[in-house]
Amino acid sequence: MVDVVYPRWIAPDGEYEGGGAMLYPDSLGRRKALAKRVELDSFEGMIRPGFLLGDERSALIALARDGSVTHRLARRANALVLLDDGLSCEQVARVLLLDDDTIRRWHGAFAEGGRKALMRFEAGGSACVLSEAQRGKLVGWVGAASPRSTGQIGAWIASEFGVEYESRSGLVALLHRLGLEYRKPEVIPRHLDETKQRAFIKLYEKLMNALGADEAVLFVDAVHPTHGARAAGCWAAKDEHLAIEQTTGRQRLNIHGAIDLETGRTKMIEAEAIDAASTIKLLAGIEALYSTTALIHVFLDNARYHHAKIVRKWLSQPGRRIALHFVPSYCPHLNPIERLWALMHQHLTHNKTYPTCREFADVILNFLRDEVPRKWGEFCDSVTDNFRVVLPANFRILA
């Protein structure tokens, strides 16, 4: 075995001081660099266990166990805790099914910027995490303020907690995890009487259970569609700018109508005004439509023209076959024809325009008079007598 003695200097002509075998300059440089690298990996470059302070470790363990945070953030926290326990980068990588360079990168980011650095992702924005107390405060604020956009919520979080969400999707995911959704409030009448609603539903069910073969039931109401554009949300390519052309006029139709939920048969009249005269005209048309029916039950709201003296006088004439039943006041949900009007707008006025009011009127009346009865099998599930009692106590009333 030859002893290697490192020279103290290398002469220009290649001679050296010292003794033993000669070591070429290139070999010497490589050997020194190799020795230095091995030393770094073994001592200075190793991730020593116990590098986490007590509060840092507790926070990371909580983060790894929290099911409400994003999976990739919990995985980073888990990796750091395992490194702190003494596992090597290779061992942690095997446990988490990753590569060891990823584990080293996460550790480096944490060493440089703390937990905040773990929450930054190269693609997908920020995964900033709120504490349990902060999440509870956020839920309370949303309930009290009813914000209408994620922008408002993100601004409040940044102002209140100093945490910024770089992407809308990350913020939406957080809100969903907290049981929050984007909701459209229902419009309910201000004066609702539970007793009257229940009494009406009971009367209706009793009537329907005892309905004779020569009797019919219809629901009556008026609608006033306006010749104008109604914008409604729809799916489209994200780089498209959508628009609908506004019409020049604001004329409206006055339609007094009735529908039979059993058959889908309708009676619709266009009138100059909705009043007692149009009511009588509609009721006379219903009697003509059901010429062989012994008794026609008509349900309608408490509009003053439905109670007019001339209407009552017409109904009292000999041979009249109509019996009126009034829906409780402030209860449009108990008159199914209201759902027909909503169906009409859905099919004919949302994102659709018509050049003239006459064309608009023709389309509306054709739908109500012809299409609804002809396609009743398609529409009947949307216009039903599935009544329910609406109670303000079941809602959070927005200010």
**216 pLDDT more than 80:** yes
Q: What angle do CA 267, 311, 324 make, to 5 degrees?
A: 65
Mean pLDDT of the region 28-50: 49
- In this prediction, residue 164 carries a pLDDT of 75
- In this prediction, residue 121 carries a pLDDT of 56
User: How confident is the prediction for the chain on average, in pLDDT?
Assistant: 83
- In this prediction, residue 199 carries a pLDDT of 95
**34 pLDDT more than 50:** no
- Band of the pLDDT at 266, cuts 50, 70, 90? very high
- In this prediction, residue 35 carries a pLDDT of 39
- In this prediction, residue 68 carries a pLDDT of 65
Reported as half-sphere exposure (CB side, CA atoms, 13 A), residue 64 has a value of 15
Q: Which of 68-72, 131-135, 354-358, 373-377 has the lowest mean pLDDT?
A: 68-72
Mean pLDDT of the region 38-64: 71
Q: Which of 19-28, 214-223, 306-315, 321-330 has the lowest mean pLDDT?
A: 19-28
Mean pLDDT of the region 31-42: 38
- In this prediction, residue 335 carries a pLDDT of 96
Task: Select the highest-mean-pLDDT range: 126-140, 230-244, 298-312.
Answer: 298-312
C-alpha closest to that of 196 among 393, 324, 334, 304:
334
For residues 98 and 76, is the Cβ–Cβ distance under 8 A? no
**6 pLDDT more than 50:** no
- In this prediction, residue 172 carries a pLDDT of 86
Higher per-residue pLDDT: 124 or 238:
238
- In this prediction, residue 99 carries a pLDDT of 87
- In this prediction, residue 129 carries a pLDDT of 65
- Band of the pLDDT at 122, cuts 50, 70, 90? very low
pLDDT by residue (tens digit) across 384-398?
999 999 888 888 777
- Band of the pLDDT at 166, cuts 50, 70, 90? low
